[in-house]
Chain A
Amino acid sequence: MSMLDVNGLNVWFGKNRDRVDAVKGATFDVGQGESFGLVGESGSGKSTILRAITGLAPNWSGAMTLDGKPIGKKRPKEFFKTVQMVFQDPYASLHPRHSVDQVLGETLHLHGFKDIDTRVVKLLDDVGLGQKFRFRYPHQLSGGQRQRVAIARALAPEPELLLLDEPTSALDVSVQAEILNLLADLRNDRGLTYLMVSHDLSVVGHMCDRLAVMKDGEIVEILDVAALRAMNATHTYSKQLLEASL
């Protein structure tokens, strides 16, 4: 059964003469428990698809269904209990004046949890940050630690679908592997579904079951990872992409 179904999605910015079509007729589906990748060069509309799903990009048309239910223009609270997002830059995605405890506590409070203290402790353990990080501020954390906090925040409402917007591209190479392993472990433990955006084919090859290749706002090809490893792309652009990543 499919967790997320996107059909003929168009996303644009601006209006009239300034209108820019960022995504044109994107169609794909992500199965329950699957890890699906979106790859393409900068500006190909990968991240915009994630922002359209979460409602951060308000101008979109087409049909999206989550768990069988259509996604409307206004997203109810339950939507955010099912879908959460991890942002690209951990230096920008945490409030500079809020401690880790405040970030997680507020998230839990907004989702109506009562046992906030025990949950904050557990979340920090789950993402491999101990108790000692609980009352630190973002500027007292390294990039990798910040991204762990951001992942903990996304996990707080116990979502089923996690949207990952290049979660490692702003990090050091050595830290990238740690975060990717953490994400893989979390997916195994919790049976999460991932929709992951990346421009790095090796990351997608490591993390995903299937992937869509995007160019200029359009999905040119959907491959599975076996085809990716065998360099079995049919479209010329995906072939170029595969060759370039060698």
Chain B
Amino acid sequence: MAETQTMREWLLAETPTSRRHAKISALYQGWLSFRSNTMAMIGLGILVLLVFIAAAAPLLSPHDPFVQDLGNRLAPLGTDGHIFGTDSLGRDILSRLIYGARITLYIVALVALIAPIAGLLVGTVSGYVGGWTDTVLMRITDIFLAFPRLVLALAFVAALGAGIENAVLAISLTAWPPYARIARAETLTIRSSDFISAIKLQGAGPLRIITKHIWPLCISSLIVRVTLDMAGIILAAAGLGFLGLGAQPPSPEWGAMISEGRRFILDYWWVATMPGLAIFTVSLAFNLLGDGLRDVLDPKAGE
């Protein structure tokens, strides 16, 4: 106990003794304020669980998600050996949900890597450089924003061919413009502030100013926006799957599972409801996490 106490004191020291100490201490204080937000912790808990389930899918799932058993099709909830029942081909829904978590995480991770980074690059360059560069980049952004999101994704997938990677690309392509807008707006307010003038007076070039001084201040609002958008991204991926343009059968993608279950939704409601609940839970978890992160990361709130 005495040791943990000193550890805590070390982490919360008023006057850090080294660069590393100061960093760790700042992280710990962020964690403490995040931890006090119960809803955000619930969100984080669900997502950690999701990652765990996806990683341990072969160990956790009671059945092979692809094995069909036509004699036992559309079994109701709570059937022996099939807690969530079976789908139209007699496959175990719980196992398919567990394996589907992998696909969901894959989509979410890829989109979360591509779209905000592209948006951050376009937005900060546009906002900082200004002039013609700004006009050209922002008009391109406007063009992408003007298209209805799902329609653009549909057109893109139709051109490239159906599949999960193309769906991810299509969603990223439609998701980056809002990030570019946010990053540009943030950059415009930061650009003229005194601390940017001050670093200019030390002879810093635009590259250093954008990457080291503007990005750290934009990234927090982008992270928050990404987590809040995650629900939308999962739904868009599910939507593409539902329309048959995302994950292809027999892959257990949640949206594709709903699309399959739709045919029997009146008589066998659980076939579509279970993946629907999974999407709902994960979306909610991302939203809760996003809210909590906003409280911790917002640099203006830290003052």
Chain A residues packing against B (C-beta within 8 Å): 54-56, 77, 80, 84-85, 87-89, 92-97, 99, 101, 106-107, 110-111, 131-133, 135-137, 139, 150, 153, 156-157
Chain B residues contacting A137 (CB-CB under 8 Å) are 26
Q: Which of B19, B22, B202 has the most CB of A within 10 A?
A: B202
Name the 3 nearest CB pairs between A and B, nearest first.
Answer: A135-B22, A132-B15, A93-B194
Instruction: Give the residue of A106, A139, A150, A153 whose beta carbon is less than 8 angstroms from that of B302.
Output: A139
Asked whether A110 and B195 contact (CB < 8 A) given A101-B19, A135-B16, the answer is no
Asked whether A135 and B202 contact (CB < 8 A) given A87-B194, A93-B195, the answer is no
Chain A CB within 8 A of B21 CB? yes
Additional A-B contact list (11), CB under 8 Å, known A88-B194, A101-B22, A135-B15: A80-B203, A87-B194, A89-B194, A93-B195, A95-B195, A95-B199, A96-B299, A97-B299, A101-B19, A106-B199, A135-B17
Chain A residue at minimal CB-CB distance from B198: A93
Chain A residues contacting B302 (CB-CB under 8 Å) are 96, 139
Chain A CB within 8 A of B303 CB? yes
Chain A residues contacting B26 (CB-CB under 8 Å) are 137
Chain B residue at minimal CB-CB distance from A51: B197
Main secondary structure of the interface of A (DSSP, over half): loop
- Asked if A54 contacts B201 (CB within 8 A), the reply is yes
Distance A54 CA – B197 CA, assembled complex (angstroms)? 10
Distance A223 CA – B202 CA, assembled complex (angstroms)? 33
Distance A94 CA – B195 CA, assembled complex (angstroms)? 5
Q: How far is the CB of A185 from chain B (nearest CB, A)?
A: 22
- Asked if B198 contacts A150 (CB within 8 A), the reply is yes
Distance A55 CA – B217 CA, assembled complex (angstroms)? 25
Chain A residues contacting B303 (CB-CB under 8 Å) are 96, 139
Chain B residues contacting A136 (CB-CB under 8 Å) are 15-16, 22
Chain A residues contacting B18 (CB-CB under 8 Å) are 135
Q: How far is the CB of A241 from chain B (nearest CB, A)?
A: 27
Chain B residues contacting A156 (CB-CB under 8 Å) are 202
Distance A110 CA – B16 CA, assembled complex (angstroms)? 25
Chain A CB within 8 A of B216 CB? yes
Distance A73 CA – B88 CA, assembled complex (angstroms)? 75
Chain A residue at minimal CB-CB distance from B197: A56
Distance A141 CA – B212 CA, assembled complex (angstroms)? 22
Distance A23 CA – B120 CA, assembled complex (angstroms)? 38
Chain B residue at minimal CB-CB distance from A86: B198
Chain A CB within 8 A of B82 CB? no
Distance A156 CA – B217 CA, assembled complex (angstroms)? 25
